[in-house]
Structure 1
Amino acid sequence: MRAMAKLMVAWEAGGYLGHEMLVTAAALELKHAGHDVLVCAPQGVPANAAARREGLRWDELPGEAPPPAPSTGFRWKSRATSLWSFGFHSAHWLRGRVSAWSDLLAREAPSAVVLQAAPCAQLAARAAGVPSLEFGIGFDVPPRQSPFPPFRNPDAFTVEAGQAFERRLVEMIQQACPVGDQTLAALVSGDRRLVVSLPELDHYAGAPDPSRLFAGPLPAVTMGGATAEWRGPGPRLLAYIRASAVEVPAFLDAAAALPGDWIVVCPDGTEAHAAQATQSSPGRIRFHREPLSLGGLLPQADLVICHGGGLMAEALVHGRPCVAMPIHQEQFMATTAMTHHGLGAMLAPRAPALFADVWRRVLADPGVQANALALSARQHALATGSGQALVRSVQDLLRAGA
């Protein structure tokens, strides 16, 4: 029987549900493989329903927000500028943050850490000699290059400017924790690196890095509570939207104009939105404000509408075309890659006049349908084996550190 290891799974950057679901999914896979798992979440993020149901140990790491970051003065953006904005511009704040992680590592003494968008935890692990696995979508696991490649305005980027800026960050890190004279990429990257998405959606296509292993999207977390199933005749349309980004009444008007069976999930929706869905198309548009497990719905969906995050990758491995409405840079980058491969379409989230026409066009496009099915066949192993790939990567990490 495999020996059980004590693992810490953590994240600290990003306050959106996607980070929490990735960490929860990874923690559950490792717990089911027999490991003793502690999830360490940002302050104010309590254990979710899935974690409570599965008995996951869950802790919150307190910490002060960093002081406002001064402008870098660059038009381009990279992992380095993201770290600067996160708090790496302040040696004082960084010292306190790394110290908090170091105290936690000393108290828990994990055999390894599994980190998702957790750069300060990575520094603490590096200083303490604790092996680390870094995982996330491609944006969160950039090529381990010096300097990091730009993800915005690459035409304004120069290697010399990137290297000089990264030296400033390394100096801040060296003031905050006992690390040697290494590149920024070496300091903030994990010993093993797992991209839990598809190569076709890579944010850094064209910047190959053999340290990045693509494993496919992790199995969807079943939150419990509300469930849904397909009812009426097709097309079957699954939407996950944010009311903070989309004009929900206009979205629902467009949905009512397109015949089909709709399931709309909107965690920040209102009772008025739910009432509109019920009144405009009774039984045909079901509007959910609470978390909903989508894994059982995806394989039969004819179209998935989302903002271009992890759900888009989950849909595509099932051969489901997508229409994405990105609201963040990483979503825009992945959606651009998706449309480049002919797997769906991109929409501005506040362009409701275009919604129904674009949905119809994608549904009727045999090329998009064929491309999505071809991707699903090509990446079948990723669709079915991502959880096992995560467990294997952690086992390899533990063996290498033994």
Structure 2
Amino acid sequence: MSGRDARVTSGLALNLGKPRLSLVPALAAHCTVHHFDSLPSRAAVYPLCAKSGRWAGPVDGGKRAIPYDSAMAKILLAWEAGAFLGHEMLVTAASVLLKDAGHDVVILSPDGTVPNEAARRAGVRWVAVPPAPGVPPLPSGVPWESRATTLWNFGFHSIDLIQDRFRAWDALLHREAPDVVVLQAAPFAHLAARAAGLPSVEFGIGFDVPPGLSPFPPYRNVDSFDEQVATRFERAILDRLRRVVGSIADRPLHAVVSGDRRLVVSIPELDHYDGIADPARTFLGPLPILDLGATRPRWVRGEPRVLAYVRAPLIDASQLLKAIGALKGDAVVVCPGADEALVSLARKLGVRLHGAPVSIHDLLPTADLVVSHGGGLMAEAVIRGRPCLALPAHFEQFMTATTLRRRRLGAIANPNEPAMYERALRHVLADREARRNVAAVATRHRAIAARSGHDFVTAVESVLAESR
């Protein structure tokens, strides 16, 4: 019996194959839905497939049609963790790729996140997930950090919160009835998808798609890791999950909260788990740069050309602007959270400052230096042969930045030491070895960079095909 046909009974939901009836409709009724799809209906555009009885979808630029079962599915994308733009931009980029491939796409976003311009222009439906109740934190009691401790701190220590999130996601999955879920840092959604028997794809940078080992490998305080203690710790989490989802939790933790297909949208050179083998993780490379709308800055002056994508609360933004301005080249700084004082300072220094995300299509390929906190933009820069300066604000960013420095692809600067900003910028710009190394990475991964979007869509569609 396949996962889609299995009958799974838990204390909260009864799912028969593809979700059809929600046992908690009140939660679904309170979700906020933004629908921007103004395109004609499927019936008006594509013929009915005589074989499957479902609408056919476009392939090969619309020159021919193939059955809905392989070309036009309902795909739900979501993220839960992460308060910054990286998660949202990654999910949006994936949704646009799948929408362009002819699929019916829905994004489920954390409460309070409004649809961005790229999602609106693509006609992607946007649904806000009901907010989670607050629960008191509980120390993990172990000295290292791993995906298991991250889950614990995210709420897997609380049976009440697990139950609330499971109910919310169960309601959404039943109401939306997707053919597959594509999830990014969304462990509660994975749990509900498992219970519903839905095929799933997990994707993200290396940190968000850890090796599927039991127990999860540590990523911090590695020397204190004890495998037996870690196994007991994960069993404690599974015991809590079992109280909510029953026998779904009768498997290793990584199998409960991970996808059927696991895609790392980065490169091995920047993997957070560098050196830990897991053939089930597929490295696709960064997804194509997302077009965020009409604002597409271009380089207008001479070298050095510096592109910075940072958040004002995480650095000394005024000192970074002064350091970049001192280079006397061309600079574009994207800085969500920038206030009027920063805007005024940037204007005085001749630095173009944007307080909201902009498209970087015309900037990234020819930037002499890319400055970021160390998230997904770093891989996008390196794969295009651009040296980087990292100003990491969180530990997972520090992990990537450390790997960047070790491989001599750029440098790290402490965001809390603004006096060092200019020196760090000049150091990377003058580092010929770093330029040679990133050029070698770009050459090595040229094919990946060219096909990452295609390979992502193909991977999702292969999971659909295998589930039918």
Q: TM-score range by the shorter chain?
A: over 0.9
Distance 1:180 1:71, change over 3 A: closer
Instruction: Name the structure 2 match of 1:263.
Output: 332
Residue 92 of structure 1, CA deviation: 1.5
User: What do you get for the CA RMSD once the two structures are aligned?
Assistant: 1.1
Contact 2:296 2:361 in 1 (8 A): no
The Cα shift of 1:356 comes to: 1.4
1:52 corresponds to which residue?
A: 120
Q: Give the AA of the match of 1:228.
A: P
Within a 5 Å distance, the mapping from 1:130-279 to structure 2 comes to: 130-178=198-246, 179-279=248-348
**1:3-402, aligned counterparts within 5 Å?**
3=68, 4-178=72-246, 179-279=248-348, 281-282=349-350, 285-402=351-468
The one-letter code sitting in structure 1 at the alignment partner of 2:456 is: L
Structure 1 letter corresponding to 2:445:
Q
Gap regions ≥5 residues in structure 1: none
In the alignment, is the contact (CA less than 8 A) between 1:66 and 1:90 conserved in 2?
no
Q: Secondary structure of 2:331's partner?
A: strand
- Deviation, structure 1 residue 96: 1.5
Q: Is the 8 A contact 2:304 2:327 kept in 1?
A: no
For the Cα contact (< 8 Å) 1:66–1:86, is it kept in 2?
Answer: no
Deviates more, 1:247-256 or 1:264-273: 247-256
1:232-254 per-position Cα deviation (integer Å, ceiling 9, x unaligned): 11011111121111111211221
CA distance in 2, matches of 1:180, 1:320: 44
Which protein has the larger Cα radius of gyration, Structure 1 or Structure 2? 2
> Distance between the aligned counterparts of 2:185 and 2:131, measured in 1?
16
1:309-355, Cα deviation, whole Å (9 max, x unpaired): 11111111110000001001111111111111110000001212211
Letter in 1 for 2:376: G
Partner secondary structure for residue 28 of structure 1: helix
User: Is the Cα contact below 8 Å between 2:203 and 2:265 reproduced in 1?
Assistant: yes
Amino acid at match of 2:215: P
Query: 1-side partners of 2:324 and 2:362: how far apart?
Result: 22
**Matched position secondary structure for 2:141:** coil
Report if aligned partners of 2:205, 2:264 keep a CA contact under 8 Å in 1. yes
Give % identity: 50
CA drift at 1:37: 0.7
> What SS class does the counterpart of residue 244 from structure 1 fall into?
helix
Q: List alignment gaps of at least 5 residues for structure 2.
A: 1-64
Cα pair 2:201 2:262 within 8 Å, conserved: yes
Q: What's the offset of the Cα at 1:112?
A: 0.6
CA contact (8 A) 1:326 1:348 kept: yes
AA matched with 2:466: A
Q: Distance in 2 between matches of 1:65 and 1:84?
A: 16
Q: Is the contact made by 1:69 and 1:84 (CA closer than 8 Å) also made in structure 2?
A: no
Rounded to whole Å, the distance in 2 between the matches of 1:169 and 1:138 is 23
Q: Is the 8 A contact 2:241 2:249 kept in 1?
A: no
Take 1:390 and 1:135, find their aligned partners in 2: how far apart are those partners? 9
> Residue type of the partner of 1:32?
D
Counterpart CA distance in 2 for 1:8 and 1:232 is 43
Native 8 Å contact 1:197 1:214 kept in 2: yes
Deviation at 1:171? Answer: 0.6
Residue 65 of structure 1 and its aligned partner are, at CA, apart by 3.3
How many positions carry a matched residue from both structures? 399
With structure 1 as the length reference, what TM-score do the two structures score?
0.97
Change (3 A) 1:180 1:249: closer
Q: 1:102 to 1:246 in 2, by over 3 A?
A: same
The TM-score with structure 2 as length reference comes to 0.84
Letter of the structure 2 residue corresponding to residue 278 of structure 1: R
Q: Secondary structure at the match of 1:177?
A: helix
How far apart are the structure 1 equivalents of 2:86 and 2:206? Answer: 14
Instruction: Name the amino acid aligned to 1:92.
Output: D
Shift of 1:180: 4.4
1:190-246 Cα deviation digits (max 9, x unpaired): 000000111100000111101100011111211114231101110111111211111
Contact preservation (8 Å) 2:296, 2:362: no
2 CA distance for matches of 1:260 and 1:150? 42
Q: Tell me the distance in 2 between the aligned counterparts of 1:177 and 1:101.
A: 13
Q: Deviations over 1:278-327 (max 9, x none)?
A: 11x33xx1111122111221011000011111111111111000000100
SS of aligned partner of 2:78: strand
